[in-house]
Structure 1
Amino acid sequence: MYNKELYHIPYHTKDLSSYKFLITGGAGFIGSNIVEYLLRYNAGQVRVLDNLSNGYYSNIEKFIELPNFEFIKGDIRDLETCKKAVEGMDFVSHQAALGSVPRSIVDPITSNETNISGFLNMLTAVKDAPNVKRMVYAASSSTYGDSKELPKVEGVEGKPLSPYAVTKAVNELYADVFSKVYGFHTIGLRYFNVFGPKQNANNPYAAVIPIFCKHFIENTSPTINGDGITSRDFTFVENAVQANIRALLYDKLEKHEVFNMACGDQVSLNEMIEMLKRISNKDINAVYGPERAGDVKHSKASIEKISRELNYYPEFKFEKGLKIVFDWYQNEMLEQIK
């Protein structure tokens, strides 16, 4: 039922069986990994809210029969659905969103409706829910926009470069206002290029790592947008789960806080190709295409604040995580053939 490679390290000290958790977007990539962690460590109740437009029932199907798991098919763009979902919950992990810079450029309206209106619905529902102790939400490194400063430090942001980046910046503004006006404090985790098992490689807006892994497994050449020196602070999904668990259970929150969630490192696309050659034992080279609109050239996070405040430490460095996810995609593709 559980991934044998992941979640052997507990990132909590409290007895999770005493608490109830809502994960919005819990059938999606990061959300379903948070669900898996909570269920593995016997959370009292784990409720998932997902409309399955960007998540997959297969990510949570194996949990359906568990007595402490509940699935609600619903949309965060509906306020009443959000209110029903938070009823009786102690903690809310808000992962529901429409990711992808290219998708937001093609369809900014839907990105806005989901990422801003949906987020505001969740903030409102959680603010008014008497039992909820904490809400942690998925923020984004895209908020740093055109800032060229490296590493990226909380509080030093540039201007957004895409509609998606605008939506995630607005999330932080709303959360900060709710903290000041209503005294309801939340934590935003600025994800830096999270990758890992359950990330769909066949989605038209799939991230670069699942696409590259699929190419290597199928013995075809991946396409790099640009010259390949573009670099990212790629972050394995268990690191993201660790940050979410530590943030949800953080007791000393006195205002809205935002933390970088990353490894504090940089890997270029060209370097990733070389690592995949070693991992796969295949001599496959990339082909090169034009730069992608709205992309940042280089990204690297400072993780000083999250390490200091939340005791976060990235247990999985890039190549270790890349090997795990490559093997996972390979096994998934073999299962599909059977």
Structure 2
Amino acid sequence: MEKVGENSFEDEIMESDIELEGEVFEPDNDPPQKMGDPSVEVSDENRDKAQLYKKEGLDALSEGKLIEAVECLTDGILLNPTSAILYATRAGVFMKMKKPNAAIRDADAALQINPDSAKGYKSRGMAKAMLGKWEDAAHDLHLAAKLDFDEEICSELKKVEPNVHKIEEHRKKYERLRKEREVKKADMERQRKQAEEVSAASAVVKDGEVITVHSSNELETKLKAASSLSRLVILYFTATWCGPCRLMGPVYKSLAEAHRNVVFLKVDIDELGIVAHRWNVSSVPTFSCVINGKEIDKVVGADKASLERKIAQHGSSKK
């Protein structure tokens, strides 16, 4: 959805909420549980004791004694901090206690020890699902399924994947809207710049007037402005000592007033001989018909009828 405002190209995309399935739990903010020191060298005796604590923890878990299970597994972890299965098992207990953040910490530890721990990915995936992190959950659960598929993973994926699909569709929808908005902004910016250029160019060419040019740079500016407006330019080369030029002066002015869509420029060849030379002017008066800075036709001599005909011919498509 898009808010409508005066400057609509600056509007923001307003995303709607997604209706997702499944229960999401508040994150647990308990102090982090005790973790073992992975740098400790584990003796066979401690490894065996850790296994006993693991068994006691599983027995407590089967009886629903979750706190006792965590305590036993923690004792085992402290004795053998290199056991990924101990961390992954305790993560499962934290899941049952609705403590997903604690479960994620244990799953991370298990995966750091054993990157191929299916139970670590499974526990972390289920914990992230509890927090509503559906895409992360699906990623971990799929990895767990590849390593050691079981029915619990399958069941959890059936809950998670519909939400992931909704999120992906939602993202695609609003990404498309954002792209459309960017295109719209770019179009409006182009239109704004074009309007500014047209306004500036119109001020330069002065509709209905004969513009006397006094320098090469000034001529280039006028021609560029006319090009931006897609207008025909009549470039009138004259001289003060030329009798036919004096006769054509008033005619040229009346043509400028009559054809406001055409740019009428005037150059004195004695003042700007270099310009006259560049435009191959060999006699005056000469009228060059210019479009996009290039001469497309010309009239040589005080021939009013020919000049009017050329203006009609070349100027009609540039209104």
Indicate the structure whose relative CO is greater, using CA pairs within 8 Å and at least 6 residues apart.
1
The alignment's TM-score, normalised by the length of structure 1, stands at 0.17
Q: Which has the larger radius of gyration?
A: 2
Bigger share in helix = 2
Bigger share in strand = 1
